[in-house]
A and B are shown apart, each in its own frame.
Chain A
């Protein structure tokens, strides 16, 4: 695809916090946008199209809240559309922006969004209504309970312990302490996690992501535009999406295609992205990864799906050996990841932003030394729809 590549030329993120009572929802969107535009050193006139990143409307409490964000992204009289792939929305929006440029129709495209989860008093109620009203919604399902059941199956199949889960939190909190944009930045110990209150067995409070408020934005451009204007960029060399069954019970029982302990479709999505980027040996070629994992246990099967470990039991061992922390063999979530910051509409966009910063060498105190190739992922729905991306310097 030489000459037809798509690059990231601007990145903007808020400092994510519990509440942002000083800013309305569109104000937060604007915050990410302004930072990305400054980073790209472009005027709004240069933006030819906008992809708006927003997951459930009910989380911000505004129906089709993207309509309210049109002005914040400078979308007036420009091509504008919104993506919602649940928690994957942020990376799906970046991929949609990539398609806008790769289609040949646009040179410069902005993708942006924000969330104010801290203002939603009933996030697990909203998330219960992602399930179908006929069969699964009458159960007390929520995203925490759903992934607690994934943990139960991962423990049963591969021997993960509650301490192994805690180890992920300890690693990511350490990473977040180095990242001023992260929401939960206080380092914790395994004992702290184990002593935190039980939410849904085996998930404890410190195994959970926070509810964050903040915005994020990316500016993507064609290789031609980047070269003509002598801009600096990192390159999107692989993209993909894949989905698995909506029905939780179909991921269990007799020989399910998508096992609920694992992240089958995430693996399929990574296969696509790797094939497109020409990556044949991820364990050797990938130098940094930002994998969407809102609960400590889900980082394990995300690493498996990204093929950054030979097999699940090895993943658990390598986590114990510190191979996934900054300074280790393949640092995972050096930003602190979703576990430390979750503003759902842009969480997966932050994964893309953070990998871009890493391969650009601009990640500051949480920089992975010498990283030139990284991968990002996002998970949406009831652990159902997954998006992935490969980014290279």
Chain B
């Protein structure tokens, strides 16, 4: 028999409150080109990106700590497949432990030739030193900075 289809699209807009902690973090990125974490007094760990409380101790975090811009690659992947609503491949991104931080911060890796996957993966291997690089024009968001090999 004839089987019919109906195409439906979900399109809803949200305005998420970032709260004081994330707002302060993004304002510093926008205005100073600097990345800050927040320390959990109970564990002593510097959480980057900053959280207002630690999900391990459930205690509020206390003081701000400037971290980076240098750091080491903790994880990466190189994407060769096109996904809807994501950038055109190839691109590399992952997580970096910035100097002075205890947790890793995500971002794109730029300036690495991705044409040969194995060679690119070798250049981005875990432990590689990188530096956070800031866009000259910044909006106060995660994509205002990326990582380049040090």
Chain A residues engaging chain B, CB cutoff 8 angstroms: 21-22, 58, 61, 121-122, 124-125, 128, 133-136, 138-142, 144-145, 148-150, 152-153, 156, 197-203, 245-250, 252-257, 260
Contact = CB atoms under 8 A, between A and B. Distances in A.
B91 to A, nearest CB: 7
* Chain B CB within 10 Å, residue with most, of A122, A124, A152, A199: A152
A149 B84 CA distance: 20
20 contacts: A61-B8, A133-B16, A134-B19, A138-B143, A139-B106, A141-B106, A142-B86, A149-B76, A152-B94, A153-B74, A153-B126, A197-B81, A200-B81, A246-B55, A249-B105, A252-B103, A253-B74, A254-B97, A255-B102, A257-B56
Contacts of A254: 45, 97, 102-103
Given A135-B22, A138-B141, A201-B121, A252 B104 contact: yes
Given A249-B95, A254-B102, 6 more contacts: A21-B3, A138-B143, A152-B94, A198-B80, A247-B55, A254-B45
B137 interface: no
Given A149-B94, A200-B81, A252-B95, A140 B142 contact: no
Contacts of A141: 106
A152 B75 CA distance: 6
A342 B36 CA distance: 40
B105 A200 contact: no
Interface string B72-103: 00111111110111110001011101000111
Contacts of A260: 75
B80 A201 contact: yes
Given A138-B141, A245-B55, A200 B104 contact: no
B58 interface: no
Contacts of B49: 134-135, 249
Given A61-B10, A149-B76, A149-B95, A124 B55 contact: no
B60 interface: no
Contacts of B132: none
B5 interface: yes
B80 A248 contact: no
Given A139-B106, A253-B103, A58 B79 contact: no
A255 B141 CA distance: 28
Contacts of A136: 106
Given A61-B10, A149-B75, A248 B85 contact: no
Contacts of A201: 77-80, 117, 120-121
A134 B141 CA distance: 9
B22 A134 contact: yes
A124 B79 CA distance: 13
Contacts of B108: 139
Contacts of A256: 103
Nearest to A261: B75
A199 B16 contact: no
A125 B85 contact: yes
Contacts of B5: 21
A152 B76 contact: yes
A249 B104 contact: yes
B126 A156 contact: yes
A133 B14 contact: yes
Contacts of B77: 145, 148-149, 152, 200-201, 203
A319 to B, nearest CB: 22
Contacts of B94: 149, 152
- Smallest CB-CB A-B distances: 7 pairs: A252-B74, A249-B104, A148-B77, A149-B75, A138-B142, A252-B104, A201-B78
* Chain A CB within 10 Å, residue with most, of B8, B108, B126: B126
Contacts of A145: 77, 79, 93
Interface string B105-133: 11110000000010011000111000000
* Chain B CB within 10 Å, residue with most, of A22, A58, A145, A245: A145
A99 to B, nearest CB: 25
Contacts of A134: 16, 18-19, 22, 49
B74 A124 contact: no
Nearest to A153: B75
A139 B142 contact: yes
Nearest to B15: A133
A22 B4 CA distance: 9
A368 to B, nearest CB: 35
Nearest to B43: A257
Contacts of A133: 14, 16
B10 A200 contact: no
B83 A142 contact: yes
B94 to A, nearest CB: 6
B125 A156 contact: yes
